[in-house]
Amino acid sequence: MISVKGVSKQFGDYVALDDVSLEVPDGSLTALLGPSGSGKSTLLRIIGGLETADSGSVEIHGVDATNVPPQRREIGFVFQHYAAFKHMTVRDNVAFGLTIRRKPKAEVAERVDRLLRIVGLAGYAKRYPNQLSGGQRQRMALARALAVEPRVLLLDEPFGALDAKVRTELREWLRRLHEEVHVTTLLVTHDQEEAMSIADDIAVMDNAHIEQVGNPRELYDNPSSAFVMGFLGEVS
């Protein structure tokens, strides 16, 4: 479980996070949903250790993560614009984290094959990233983030740069991947349809705070404020 308690963050005078608390259940796919500028990425970056909070704490699986550097938090990241190694094949990109950890070749091959299969890229192992579509590239990014068996997967608008049709397909891939791999996943998105269709739980953010947390049904049936009702009803 990821447990965020009383986290605040300012950039100069600007309050980006105001006393935010959130529990992400073990093995869940939780969405952090809110309009642009509400503080989603800042919260995700603090959870991932890419940014430090001014106050408050982050625990990951019962361990205080405050002073743990990102590379030791056992976290996989996927961002909107994924930087793949252009000179490496899809297979080598996915294997990279395992190769640098000097895992046995057979183990690497088995794990990479399995992940490529799950994300539908088994037939693309020998291609290069620039021979993939945008959607395929983000699927490769998901496989690569999961290769090292992180305990937590943090996704920041991973499908945000893609067109609507591809985004819808990728939801299905992410859902399937999550069912196979069961890693605690936090998905940042401003797309209410995306959150409503794939998340177990949704934390709705507005203006530096979390407005409401619930499963899609609860949010839909009992929005706690006019903001939540209005935002869930918007079409992005």
Binding site for ligand ADP (CB under 6 A): 11, 14, 16, 34, 36-42
Nearer to ligand ADP, 77 or 124 (CB): 77
**Minimum gap (Å) between residue 189 Cβ and Mg ion:** 9
How far apart are the C-alpha atoms of 144 and 112, rounded to whole Å? 8
Q: Is 56 exposed, middle or buried (0-12, 13-18, 19+ CB in 10 A)?
A: middle
- Minimum distance between the CB of residue 177 and ligand ADP, rounded to whole angstroms? 23
Which of ligand ADP, Mg ion, none has residue 42 at its interface (CB below 5 to 8 Å by kind)? ligand ADP
User: Phi, psi at residue 130, to the nearest 5°?
Assistant: -75, 0
Q: Shortest Cβ distance from residue 11 to ligand ADP (Å)?
A: 3
Q: How far is the CB of 218 from ligand ADP (least distance, A)?
A: 22
Query: Residue 79 or 124: which CB sits closer to ligand ADP?
Result: 79
Residue in the shown chain whose Cβ atom is closest to Mg ion? 41
Residue 87 to residue 85: CA distance in whole angstroms: 6
40 vs 171, beta carbon nearer ligand ADP: 40
Q: Which residues bind Mg ion (CB under 5 A)?
A: 41
Return the one option of ligand ADP, Mg ion, none that residue 184 interacts with (CB less than 5 to 8 A, by type).
none
End-to-end CA distance of the chain: 30
**How far is the C-alpha of 9 from the C-alpha of 50, rounded, in Å?**
13
Distance from C-alpha of 20 to C-alpha of 39, rounded to nearest angstrom? 10
11, interface contact from Mg ion, ligand ADP, none, CB < 5-8 Å by kind: ligand ADP
Q: Given the complex with ligand ADP, which of 42 and 212 has the nearer CB atom?
A: 42
Tell the smallest beta-carbon distance from residue 15 to Mg ion (Å). Answer: 16
Q: Tell me the closest approach of the beta carbon of residue 41 to Mg ion, in angstroms.
A: 3
Provide the strand spans (E) within 83-215.
152-156, 184-189, 201-206, 209-214
Classify the C-alpha dihedral 72-181-143-156 as positive or negative. negative
Q: In this structure, what DSSP letter does residue 41 have?
A: H
Q: In what order do the strands lie in the sheet with 29-33?
A: 75-78, 152-156, 184-189, 29-33, 201-206, 209-214
Residue closer to Mg ion by CB (options 80, 168) is 80
Between 42 and 185, CB nearer to ligand ADP: 42
